[in-house]
Chains A and B, each alone.
Chain A
Amino acid sequence: MIISVMVTGSPVSQQSAQTALSFCQAALSAGHQIYRVFFYEDAVQLGSALNVAPQDERNLNAAWSEFVKQYELDAVICVASALKRGILNDSEASRYQKPAANLAEGFDISGLGQWVDACLNSDRVVSFGA
């Protein structure tokens, strides 16, 4: 089946980003296709390349970035949520004259329309987080 996943929970205070990653890995293992992963609200923090995890904790940002690169998934960070939280790619950084961009490898910044498109083109959609 074609599955899309929305993640909304903060990776630093909620379990949902971890749950969503395990779900996506299990879905691919079962032979399903992941059409898109859409990161919304606090989950856009996963798109930051600047977070530093304590040595004795799993680095979820790195795990997600590696995962979407490995399977060449369409991983979309919501632009409105991202800008508010200081997650920018090169074009947004120059548009708003910010000193740096910090979007991690494997992610794209785009709009909520990408989630509408995912719902239309997927057999199943699942949402993780508050």
Chain B
Amino acid sequence: MSTLHIVSSSPFDSNAFSSALKTASQGDAILLIENGVYAAVDALQIDNLMSGAMPDVTHYVLSEDVDARALPRLRNNIAKVDYAGFVALVCQHHNSVSWN
């Protein structure tokens, strides 16, 4: 029973991303959408948040929301998906949790 954690708030505004990192267990995935995509940038603050996170959790980011915010450089341990990919992720996991 795996879970898709959908994070929609910036890691600089809320604890949503940190909470998802702490809650996600092996085989889960984290999808960053809306302002949550700021957790996909290649930055020291994000690395610090990620340290100690569960290793077997795949990270995804919604490409439309990355493009809308013109984010220059994403960390290399994250995969871009479009809305079709978003739907596929929802179907691949048994449950979804939305973190704001």
Contact = CB atoms under 8 A, between A and B. Distances in A.
Contacts of A29: 84
A124 interface: yes
Contact of B98 (A26, A32, A127): A127
Nearest to B88: A30
Contacts of B64: 22
Contacts of A3: 87, 90
SS of A interface (majority)? mixed
Contact of B87 (A26, A128, A129, A130): A26
A49 interface: no
SS of B interface (majority)? helix
Interface residues of B, number: 18
Interface in A3-41: 3, 15-16, 19, 22-23, 25-27, 29-30, 32
A128 to B, nearest CB: 7
A124 B91 contact: yes
Interface of A: 1, 3, 15-16, 19, 22-23, 25-27, 29-30, 32, 123-130
Interface of B: 6, 8, 33-35, 64-65, 82-84, 86-88, 90-91, 96, 98, 100
